[in-house]
Amino acid sequence: MKKAMVDQPTITVNQAYLRTIEKKVGDLEALIEVSAIISSTLDFNELMTLVMEKAKSLMNAEGCSILLYNKEINRLEFDLAISQETSITDILKSKVTLEMGQGVAGWVAEHRTSLLIKDARTDSRFYQEADRLTGFTTRSLIAVPLVGRSGLIGVAEILNPKDKDFFTDYDLGIFQTLSRQISIAIENARFYKESVETERLRQELEIASTIQKSFLPESPIFRKDRLMLSAINLSATQVGGDLYDFIELSPSRVGVFIGDVSGKGISAALYMAKVISDFRYIAPQVTGPEIALGRLNSVLSRAPRGMFLTGIYGIVDLSTGNISLCVAGHPPFLWLTNGETKVMDVASGPPMGILPTAYPSAEILLERGDRILFLTDGVFEAKNKEDKRMGYEKLVAFIKEQRGEGHLIQKVVDYVDDFSRGLERPDDLTIVELSWDAGN
């Protein structure tokens, strides 16, 4: 038995409605394409150009722009402007910035609210100077705040629809959706750029640290005849400005040098490398430490202003135990004898690299078992969690208690670290210990 044929109903679709549906489908496809563009690159400039070109095409607009928020000056700055005139971006970047609340973009940024303006000429918020500078004529525009996890990023604008007199609420919804994707794209690109920069800086600092350490003595321990020198050098960051050196001047004379460059970081590390190179060139040519520091001071005084060096240079006579010393603005050193711990605040000249001057010298005669500790101010400038500074007197008191112990400089470092436990090292730390008749 055959089934009866059922006539299907005929549906008539209005052509205008059909075109609207087709446009919405096309817009949806374009938004999906924007998502794909965002995933295609993390290069910030390339990404912004691709996304905004797509936005301009999707909205069938004459121009579009992005203004980024500069937190440091609390202003909006043009980052990108796309129109028929390729020079517009350069003009806007160099000549136009907007205060919060100034112009349409400034109002949108301040209120974090989108604006649809059908006739820019009649809106009091419109900033006409940009059009005057570029020769562009703004009729209708949409401005949308770009907001991310960290707050305001900037403002995106789309200008002048080509196929009608002004933008509509539908256009506003499309551009708001685009702008949410733009915000995500900017944050991702910035995060990637910062990550790349951080990694590059980390690698550069590792290289700089390795190079800087190569300027110090190959071994932190030096032994010859009755003399032993040992040192610890710890930077507050990967690179620093503290330095020390041991230099054999002749079969019977050894030089020991400690210095502290003003500041920390890369600039101090570069200055430190210069200092130690200049010192090694000068020291073998002269007989007295005061002459060596005088010449070093002359060289450093010709270096860029703002950097200087404190230091102590001593020359040990291995045959007699006599030390000739010269101090340039450096903290007092400690002389540990069999009976006492002496704070040696000898006559000093100013730090090197500031002004021409003559440096005084002093003499010390070592006896069996004597030790001398040279140190930089990073040792006693350490602070604890209560923001209390250790101070030189507290350090001296600890050394007096530990003076009979072996590995004294390591004990001092442990004491400083324990005092400032839980905090980053605020300054470079260097200690040099000179022992006379060590192990004999």
- Predicted confidence at residue 91, as pLDDT, reads 86
Q: What is the pLDDT of residue 347?
A: 93
pLDDT per position as a tens digit, 253-298: 999 999 999 877 777 888 888 899 999 999 999 999 999 999 999 9
Q: What is the CATH number of the domain that holds 45?
A: 3.30.450.40
Identity (one letter) of the amino acid at 202? Answer: R
The pTM of the whole model exceeds 0.85: no
Query: What pLDDT is stored for residue 157 in this prediction?
Result: 93
Question: Does residue 210 belong to any structural domain of this protein?
Answer: no
Residues 306 and 413 in one domain: yes
pLDDT at 35: 61
Q: Within this chain, do residues 89 and 161 fall inside the same structural domain, yes or no?
A: yes
Six token digits for residue 144: 């949308």
Structure tokens at 167: 């933008």
Among 87-96, 207-216, 361-370, the range with the most confident prediction by mean pLDDT is 361-370
Q: Which domain holds residue 175?
A: 27-194
Could you read off the pLDDT of 122-174 as tens digits, one per residue? 999 999 998 998 889 999 999 999 998 889 999 999 999 998 999 999 889 88
| Same domain as 185, residue 240 | no
Listed range (259-268, 295-304, 375-384) with the worst mean pLDDT: 259-268
Residue 350 to residue 359: CA distance in whole angstroms: 8
| pLDDT-wise least confident of 31-45, 350-364, 415-429 | 31-45
Residues 160, 61: Cα–Cα separation, whole Å: 5
Residue 32 above 60 pLDDT? Answer: no
Q: Is 358 found in the same domain as 395?
A: yes
Q: Going by DSSP bridges, is the β-strand pair 309-317/322-328 parallel, antiparallel, or unpaired?
A: antiparallel
In order, the DSSP letters of 260-324 are EESS-HHHHHHHHHHHHHHHHHHGGG-SSHHHHHHHHHHHHHTSPTT--EEEEEEEEETTTTEEE
**Residues 337, 254 share a domain:** yes
Residue 26's pLDDT is what? 56
Ranked by mean pLDDT, the top range of 40-44, 174-178, 181-185, 293-297 is: 293-297
Among residues 136, 105, 104, the alpha carbon closest in space to that of 122 is found at: 104
Examine the domain organization and report whether 183 and 221 are in the same domain: no
- 28 versus 353: the higher-pLDDT residue is 353
Return the closest-CA partner of residue 345 out of 354, 333, 355, 362: 333
Residue 400, domain member (yes or no) = yes
d(CA 144, CA 201): 35
**Structural domain includes residue 203:** no
Q: Tell me, yes or no, whether 431 lies in a domain.
A: yes
Count: domains in the chain: 2
Structure-token pair, residue 339: 């009976």
283 versus 182: the higher-pLDDT residue is 283
Report the pLDDT averaged over residues 224-230: 95
Contact between residue 436 and residue 318 where contact means Cβ atoms under 8 Å apart: no
DSSP at 9: P
The pair phi, psi for residue 151, each rounded to 5°, is: 110, -155
Backbone angles phi, psi at 71, to 5 degrees: -65, -35
In a domain, 288, yes or no: yes
In a domain, 355, yes or no: yes
Do 131 and 272 fall into the same domain? no
| Lowest mean pLDDT, pick from 53-67, 175-189, 193-207 | 193-207
Closest to 168 in 3D by CA, of 117, 113, 205:
117
329, 242: one domain: yes
d(Cα 368, Cα 381) in Å, to the nearest integer? 32
CA 19 to chain centre: 55
Taking 80 as the threshold, does the pLDDT of residue 212 lie above it? no
Does residue 316 register a pLDDT over 60? yes
Same domain, 227 and 111: no
Q: Do 226 and 88 lie in a common domain?
A: no
**Directed axis angle between helix 169-215 and helix 15-40, to 10°?**
0
Q: Please state, in angstroms and rounded to a whole number, the distance separating the CA atoms of residues 89 and 109.
A: 20
CATH number at residue 270: 3.60.40.10
Average pLDDT, the chain: 86
Residue 7 lies in a domain: no
CB 188 within 8 A of CB 42: yes
Q: What is the mean pLDDT of residues 30-55?
A: 68
The yes-or-no verdict on residue 8 having pLDDT over 70 is: no
Using a 10 angstrom Cβ sphere, with 0-12 exposed, 13-18 middle and 19 or more buried, the burial of residue 145 is: buried
Are 157 and 125 a contacting pair, CB within 8 Å?
no
Q: What is the pLDDT of residue 24?
A: 55
